[in-house]
Structure 1
């Protein structure tokens, strides 16, 4: 059994039936919602399978969970914000998935400062990774809700139209005045030294 990154081998039936290690078993599908009913679960390792879907939103029901290893699967979406309430969580690994979002920074997530536990997720950003969340991430999940590509292109068109009109009006206010008003034209050429 792998617990907190260490491998243990038990010869007898162990009294700690609060550990689940299903790593490297080619499991597919999603993690069943019913697993969150195991409130005494202390360790969960489902790494290196073919699991997909999102991390369970109510995974925070597993308040006794210390190590949680979800690495090497096909999970997508963000890390649920509710996970920050899992105060016993001491070992966490979601590397090599398709997760996306800023990495949570509240509570226990402040202690997970090893970037390798997040690597292999191209759309993660924030500490401890070097990818800044202020950059425009190209993941479709970061798309503003309610704003489609047509609205964005319309906004961009109006922006450039407004810039062009502003430049033309500003240019002719200055140059037109210099061309029409003789006094201003002479003052301008004296100032420039021509």
Structure 2
């Protein structure tokens, strides 16, 4: 289930953990607050969990250590604190899965309980940068329309013979269309 980047807000519903057959859950890039549901470990079939880039707080629930099929985990860029629960699955995850939190314990090689861990690369581009790209896209689209418009209309304005030929073709198409409609009645 992919609900990423949907401007969702509020807590992660506890009822979501009742979807025990779910294999993948992506809630990244939203405005979710609160904690990770304490019984997330009930989702035993879960292979992929991504709740990165939200405002989740609290600790990683100990029940998460029972997710034995979990092969992809991303909890980065939240406000999670405390120790990472001990389990084979969680300790085998990449260190980047936990960046941007106040977490400690394996697989993190260097952690200090009250220090935020920063990655070597920046997180995704800010919304200001996205606004610039969007404006650039619309400006280039307007320029393309203007150029295309004048390539078609310009010769019609300045070449009288082309203008006459163009309107004769349109007039001929109009007459054929009217004759076709009258014959169809």
Asked if these proteins are the same fold (TM beyond 0.5), I'd say yes
**Which of 69, 73, 97 pairs up with 1:117?**
97
> What aligned pairs does 1:1-194 form with structure 2 within 5 A after superposition?
20-112=1-93, 114-121=94-101, 123-132=102-111, 137=114
Separation in 2, partners of 1:93, 1:138: 19
State the 1:124 CA deviation: 1.0
Structure 2 counterpart SS, 1:101: strand
- Provide the residue aligned with 2:147 in structure 1: none
State the 1:42 CA deviation: 0.8
- Provide the residue aligned with 2:167 in structure 1: none
How big is each residue's C-alpha offset from its partner over 1:29-48, in whole Å with a ceiling of 9 and x where there is no partner? Answer: 01111111111111100000
Separation in 2, partners of 1:85, 1:66: 12
How big is each residue's C-alpha offset from its partner over 1:1-31, in whole Å with a ceiling of 9 and x where there is no partner? Answer: xxxxxxxxxxxxxxxxxxx100011100011
- Provide the residue aligned with 1:172 in structure 2: none
Q: After TM superposition, what 4+ stretches of structure 1 lie above 4 angstroms from structure 2?
A: none
Structure 2 counterpart SS, 1:54: coil
Give the TM-score normalised by structure 2.
0.59
Separation in 2, partners of 1:125, 1:136: 6
Separation in 1, partners of 2:92, 2:109: 17
2:6/2:29 contact within 8 Å kept: yes
Separation in 2, partners of 1:136, 1:61: 28
Separation in 2, partners of 1:48, 1:94: 11
1:52/1:76 contact within 8 Å kept: yes
2:30/2:54 contact within 8 Å kept: yes
State the 1:138 CA deviation: 7.5
1:85/1:107 contact within 8 Å kept: no
Relative to total residues, which structure has the larger strand share, 1 or 2?
A: 1
Unmatched segments (≥5 aa) in structure 2: 117-185
2:10/2:31 contact within 8 Å kept: yes
Separation in 2, partners of 1:83, 1:51: 19
State the 1:102 CA deviation: 1.2
